[in-house]
Amino acid sequence: MASAAKTVWFLRHSQPVFSRQFKRFQSSEVRQGFLGTVGNTPLIHLKKISENTGCTILAKAEFLNSGGSVKDRAALFLIKDAQEKGLIGPGGTVVEGTAGNTGIGLAHMCLALGYKCVIYMPNNQSQEKIDALTTLGADVRPVPVAPFTDPNNYNHQARRFAESINNAVWTNQFDNTANRRAHIETTGPEIWRQTDGKVDAVTFGTGTGGTLAGVSMYLKDRNPKIKAILADPEGSVLYNWIKHGKLEREGTGSITEGIGQGRVTDNLKGADIDDAVHVTDKLAVEMTFRLLHEEGFFVGASSGLNVSAAVQVAQMLGPGHTIVTCLCDTGQRYYAKLFSRSVLESRGVLESIPEQYRSSLHD
């Protein structure tokens, strides 16, 4: 049989086999492409930290999303929202202002969906994030740090660029409530299911407000007694907004990235937040190294802040309660800064790390 004829015969006679194989893998155990890998992350019992509090401290392993962070959920729903509204067509451009992780999630999605990706970000973010975005094909545009009220704030620059070109959408993660919808439809239900509804409080650091707002809105709809606690780093106004109704900063800037805020975003508006805890850089860094050396998790400082906040919430509620938070991303994205002896020393937080844990530091 000639080569071409063999090929035609093979395609004709093997098609039913391929069809049967395809149907065989339409189960919940098979993820459909990159988008199918977002969500359904494990809920982890932090054993030693729980024992120290007398409570059950649980953390969603958000670093196991394929883009490597909790922001993959928001990225997926921001693009989904743009598609549903007809704001972007084939080959279009997704534009966002981000401190890094949402951009990384969007860049992955854009590769999977055939879109171009342009990211505006403050120029004080980790080099690891910039390198990751570039590797993912994003057009990365670091700009000088400026407050939201300044027209040169990275978010405003992202919006103006998207408006200047055809077939482009500014996904607007801070005020587009598709962000919190991601957590109403995925993270909240997962926590409810994974705890069998036995959760007393949730606490998350807040940048856009999507995670805390979305999770709390879903869970409080199931059980209004569940507490939603905002975890706030140094230099943010949200702690004082929740506690005293004032947009006043508590401390100066933080070593954490992507959390803390100078305003109340649309994602956070309307959410029923019960209380707030303030987490210093010293506490966040100490917990980051405890998570590494006591629990085995190599995560970033926002994860340390979250778990430190969960410990504070456990102390507020007393023994016997279940508190849920999340491990946002991996420490590799902050290695040059967060795990640098000289950087931590210059920021006055080196002493917060127990001596026996400092072997993880470089230089």
Which pTM does this prediction carry? 0.90
Mean pLDDT score, 89-111: 95
Q: Is 71 a catalytic residue?
A: yes
Report yes or no: 217 and 199 within 8 Å, Cβ to Cβ. no
Q: Mean pLDDT of all residues in the chain?
A: 92
Mean pLDDT score, 245-258: 92
User: Which class would CATH give 71-170?
Assistant: alpha beta
Per-residue pLDDT at 252: 85
Structural domain spans, the chain = 37-64+182-356, 71-170
Per-residue DSSP letters for 67-95?
Answer: TSSTHHHHHHHHHHHHHHTT---TT-EEE
**Residue type at position 317:** L
Please check whether the two domains, 37-64+182-356 and 71-170, share a CATH topology.
yes
Domain 37-64+182-356, CATH: 3.40.50.1100
Per-residue pLDDT at 120: 97
**Is it the case that residue 51 has pLDDT exceeding 70?**
yes
The 10s digit of each residue's pLDDT in 205-234 is 999 999 999 999 999 999 999 999 999 999
Q: Of the ranges 19-28, 65-74, 280-289, which one carries the lowest mean pLDDT score?
A: 19-28
| Residue in 60, 71, 220, 337 annotated catalytic | 71
Q: How far is it, in rounded angstroms, from Cα 81 to Cα 97?
A: 17
